[in-house]
Amino acid sequence: MLDNTDRLILDELCKNSRITMKDLGEKVHLTGPATSSRVAKLEDRGIIEGYTIKINQDKLGYPVHTMISIITNSPFHDPYLTYLDTQKEFVIHNYKISGDSCYLLECRFPSTEVLDEFLVGLNKHVNYKLSIIINK
Amino acid sequence: MLDNTDRLILDELCKNSRITMKDLGEKVHLTGPATSSRVAKLEDRGIIEGYTIKINQDKLGYPVHTMISIITNSPFHDPYLTYLDTQKEFVIHNYKISGDSCYLLECRFPSTEVLDEFLVGLNKHVNYKLSIIINK
DNA sequence: GTTGAAAGACACCATCC
DNA sequence: GGATGGTGTCTTTCAAC
């Protein structure tokens, strides 16, 4: 399904997705056109979903990184999900999970003050357990 | 610090980081050279950390997505961290967090069988609570 | 998958606003 | 800080092997 060269290509594109097909080819011992063709296939198969950038969220002004376990006894999740929609600026992921919690919510905030405001709103719809991420 | 044009540039680069400076410029109503200069500054300031790709991990063969809360009463975390080093293939993030747990470990596995093997090894060093991510 | 060629596009620079 | 125009280079793409 995926040979070693494909894996090398993915590795290199992870490190630098703006590399040219020719240079990428040199890294994986292939010519430009052959590399280009491999990459096109990886795109077609949906393995490469897109080309993006890594952003430093701290420097962008969102240093407070949190994981919030969402707990609710209510079968109605819509109020919570609707609230999240109003807070998209802070939401990174909202994972539906198995276990004690319903969701695991990853968010980033500019400050603990803003986090506090967010939690006040959140608490109107669900209970939660807050964890601050100290280090990656 | 960061004006609206910079934010637009970051947005567009998130969507497609292989866009040319000229095309990116059109999207943010700037010329190629002006855009290029903005992007260079965003790189220099460390806001753009790099250019990468989005990979579909399901299609790559890692469909089992998990969040594992790591709990230990021991002050020695090294055995755990050393174990993780041997399991890099599966580890996405190992966040040090506040709260009841010491770490929040995000992993992906090819199957529940492989997950099980991982947990058997993990349990030699720490206690854990496993959550499976059902949906993003 | 390789090679070689051709067309086109790109980034960069200097200059000017 | 941005626009313009020109230049040299690089990139991609295609056909033939």
Q: What is the pLDDT along chain B (136 residues), one digit of tens a residue?
A: 899 999 999 999 999 999 999 999 999 999 999 999 999 999 999 999 999 999 999 999 999 999 999 999 888 999 999 999 999 999 999 999 998 899 999 999 999 999 999 999 999 999 999 999 998 7
Predicted TM-score (pTM) of the model is 0.93
Distance from CA of B2 to the nearest CA of A (A): 8
Per-residue pLDDT at B73: 87
**pLDDT at residue B136, as a whole number:** 78
Q: Do B2 and A61 touch (CB under 8 A)?
A: yes
Does B18 contact chain A (CB < 8 Å)?
Answer: yes
Average pLDDT over residues A65-71: 97
Find the Å distance, CA of residue A43 to C1' of nucleotide C3. 25
Q: Do B98 and A132 touch (CB under 8 A)?
A: yes
pLDDT value at residue B100? 87
Return the residue in A53, A55, A69, A71 with the most chain B beta carbons within 10 A, the one to mutate for interface testing.
Answer: A53
What is the pLDDT of chain A when averaged over all its residues?
96
Interchain contact, A97 vs B133, CB within 8 Å:
yes
pLDDT level of residue A112 (50, 70, 90 thresholds): very high
A7-22 pLDDT per residue, tens: 999 999 999 999 999 9
What is the pLDDT at residue A135? Answer: 87
Which tokens in the block code for residue A87?
């807070």
